[in-house]
A and B are shown apart, each in its own frame.
Chain A
Amino acid sequence: MGSPTLTPATARRTGVVTGLGVVAPTGTSTADHWDAVLAGRSGIREITRFDASVYPVRHAGTIPEFESRTRVPDRLVPQTDRWTHFGLAAAEEALADADVDPAGLPEYEMAVVTASSSGGVEFGQREMESLYQHGPSWVSVYQSIAWFYAATTGQISIRHGMRGTCGVLCGEQAGGLDAIGQGRRLLRQGTRLVVTGGTDASLGPYGLVSQLRSGCVSTVDDPETAYLPFDRLPHGHLPGEGGAMVVVETEESASARGAGRGYGTVLGYAAGFDQSTTTGRPPVLARVIRQALDDARLDPSDVDVVFADAAGEHRRDRVESAALAEVLGPGAVPVTAPKTLTGRLLAGGAALDVATALLSLRDQVIPPTHGPIRLSPDHEIDLVQDEPREVPLRHALVVARGYAGFTGALVLGRGDRTR
């Protein structure tokens, strides 16, 4: 205890992922999600939580089967936004999957770090409606704890008695990697276990309309062809809701509990920021990937699969494929984008990709990228399409890029957990 927080990175410790929790359009549990991903079952559906026919986007990665009442303690349902419901449910599954009883571990050595992008936007819209329709005294007491971006971390910390260094990082769609990277940092500083990841639920009317203004959302009405990353003529992406939480522990903690090397280890992480294209400065992604590999003490040839960011916009796709080709070699490593089944989940997207990548390492199979993508010759990548590909997998690289320039890369190593 009392290990310094402001430490150099010399104390090299990797984090072992011992538990996964998923709430995604592809399934409300890790097992359901993985089955759907391997089977290529899409979670893109017509939005039914409200009448979206008035908007230029009617389809999204939604989770209509998620029932807050059965997955979240009754008292917390009216106090929290849907995004926090997802976070609580995913954290609970991850802890159960890791077979952790937080009550039996030192309280200050457990931490919660989540990513958020849009906070409790649906809850907030409802309360603003009360405010402007009726007056200040109609605003719910719970608005003060449901809307702000720290709500999910706070609620998970309280629910599981985790009193260590808790945090919330917002790096738009790269935030999920930043949160897991921060989790690993904490493991080097006296924390033994971190619940980390990200969720988002920005598919209420105000959240959806805000996303439309990012200029990146596809307005193609056919859900099968709306989001086609790396295609010759991509149209943008479809939004989605959900995310994932993972339990990451120090090697000592995992082995002391008999969890071995779990699903795998977080070996390397790096982050950077792209300046605007008008500055003429080159994108940072290739450098960030190299830094993450250096951090993992791996060579490019050690990477066996890439879980791509897959923006679905030609220029951004091109930046990504060029960086992959530059660092790993043109077409040298299989690349996949299972988020074609869910849409882009904002803060939840990268976290879900990490969970999917760990499942891929466990089962030694690369899930395919979904949809009728005609790979553009501009992309010198080996895009896995149509069928899962069974190949030996030692290490996976997860890439995440967010609106405005946020960039992250995370390297995962294989664990010893079996299905």
Chain B
Amino acid sequence: MSRRAVITGVGVVAPGGGDREAFWSLLVAGRSATRRISLFDPSGFRSQVGAEVDFDGRASGLTSQEVRRLDRAAQFALVATREALADSGVFDGPPPGSVDPARVGVSIGSAVGNTMRLEEEYMVLSDDGRRWLVDHTYGVPHLYEYMVPSTFAAEVAREVTAEGPCTLVSTGCTSGLDAVGHGAQLIAEGSADVVVAGATDAPLSPITAACFDAIKATTARNDDPEHASRPFDRDRAGFVLGEGAAVLVLEEARAARERGAHVYADLVGFASRSNAYHMTGLRRDGREMAEAIRVALDQARLNPTDVDYVNAHGSGTKQNDRHETAAFKRSLGEHAYRVPVSSIKSMVGHSLGAIGAIEVAACALALDRQVVPPTANLRGRDPECDLDYVPLVAREHRMDAVLSVGSGFGGFQSAMLLARPGRVPVDAGSG
């Protein structure tokens, strides 16, 4: 009996709006949430632009202890989890009819873990960097939980009373896509019936900003923050660091149907490949990303022409935009020129590991509502990027299957295919 994962709940904490619906409104309006960084003083940094979440943990329903204990990214994850659970209703059935905790798993992605708290606590323990031998007497009670990123998975597992397989996936900027893919796999193979999957990152702190400054990956266009994230545009100058989380409730398809759940999308294919080339560099030909796309299509038994929308990685670095444009042409052939391709990073920035899950959430909503989100700020295409990137304005569009891709440091390339419920035969993924 083939099993497949479907999305029945979506929770989002993203720049430009608090929850799922605010996020979708931002995307449909083509509005960019980037601005001059306010979470720390960015003067002295090469890049001073960020996509920040206006976030108040208490107002979002967290308790005082949660706000004290948890890194910003963990707070995002909890808030998104609660929204996804309420949306899905998967645990609303009365016991004993509800789900056995042993059959509930968690798969959360994050690229940089609790960086913000790690940095804040480092400053105190080292007295602003003066002491290599940091002063342990200043260590806060939850310091160890900041060092290990698995804390995010543990917090979500406690929130949903999961006693099945729980893990934190940390493959840099493909973490979000890989975590959702891992969750789908746990359901497909029968290790869990429900998986709470997603990703979170809150990297807007001095050390992470300095990291990307050093390699000149983030934009130095500080004069016009609202238009700084410009994927595929000839005037782009690097990516804009963002933050946020998306959490999805994944269920086994048959069980979801039986309880009458609203299904946003079926997860019909997922694959990842590595370029084994360079930690940050990408070869121009996009062959490993193309291979991941090819394998994902193969699993879903779909043809390239079946792809109705591509949610691009679209970070807004010259290297990335050309790399993935090549990958789309290589994997989708002539269809690459016809299918709409867009990057929501133009609106919500690049939240490292979290963005992959946020993009899967966008794909689920796009399928559900049959609207393609645009690429904001795309005024003049880079001549080397010659596809239909859906500039500026969202587009109503008939979609049965959509592709989301990610690319990240370490050379990781991932691809996921989502389909409208029931449109791709459930047996397709087996074999």
Q: Which A residues have a C-beta under 8 Å from some C-beta of B?
A: 2, 4-9, 50-51, 54-56, 79, 107-108, 112, 116-119, 121, 124-125, 127-133, 135-137, 139-141, 143-145, 147-151, 153-155, 157-158, 160-172, 175, 178, 185, 202, 205-207, 209-215, 270-276, 279, 281, 284, 287, 346, 402-406
Contacts and interface: CB of A to CB of B under 8 A. Distances in A.
Contacts of B408: 150
Nearest to B431: A4
A51 B133 contact: yes
The 7 closest A-B pairs by CB, nearest first: A154-B410, A132-B129, A149-B170, A404-B154, A214-B144, A213-B143, A139-B210
Contacts of B141: 213
Given A7-B189, A163-B276, A206-B122, A273 B410 contact: no
B295 interface: yes
Interface in B278-329: 278-280, 288, 291, 294-296, 298-299
Interface in B149-165: 149-151, 153-154, 157-158, 161-165
Nearest to A156: B276
Contact of A136 (B3, B46, B172): B46
Interface in B260-274: 267-274
Contacts of A281: 101, 161, 163
Contacts of B295: 2, 5
A271 B171 contact: no
Nearest to B122: A128
Nearest to B217: A144
B150 A117 contact: yes
A213 B170 contact: no
B232 interface: no
A404 B161 CA distance: 13
A158 B277 contact: yes
Contacts of A140: 214
Interface of B: 1-5, 44-46, 101-102, 106, 111-113, 118-119, 122-123, 125-126, 128-130, 132-134, 136, 139-151, 153-154, 157-158, 161-172, 175, 178, 181-182, 184-185, 188-191, 206-207, 209-215, 217, 267-280, 288, 291, 294-296, 298-299, 408-412, 429-431
Contact of A272 (B163, B272, B291): B163
Contact of B279 (A112, A154, A271): A154
Contact of A125 (B122, B209, B412): B122
Tell me the interface secondary structure of chain B in the complex.
mixed
A145 B170 contact: no
Contacts of B272: 165-167
26 contacts: A4-B431, A6-B270, A6-B299, A8-B3, A107-B276, A131-B206, A132-B126, A136-B206, A139-B211, A143-B214, A144-B211, A150-B408, A151-B410, A154-B274, A154-B279, A155-B279, A158-B279, A161-B276, A165-B274, A167-B171, A209-B136, A211-B144, A271-B166, A272-B163, A272-B166, A273-B166
A215 B294 CA distance: 48
A170 B273 contact: no
Contact of B125 (A8, A147, A206): A206
Contacts of A163: 273-276, 288, 291
A121 to B, nearest CB: 7
A116 B430 CA distance: 31
A274 to B, nearest CB: 7
B172 A6 contact: no
B412 to A, nearest CB: 6
Contacts of A172: 148, 150, 154
Given A107-B276, A405-B154, A275 B178 contact: no
Contacts of A406: 150, 154, 166-167
A90 to B, nearest CB: 18
A202 B147 CA distance: 10
A275 B299 contact: no
Contacts of B279: 79, 145, 151, 154-155, 158
Nearest to B273: A163
A284 B161 CA distance: 12
Nearest to A153: B410
A379 B388 CA distance: 67
Contact of A118 (B147, B168, B274): B147
Contacts of A210: 139, 143-144, 146-147
A131 B122 CA distance: 12
A273 B164 contact: yes
A281 B106 CA distance: 18
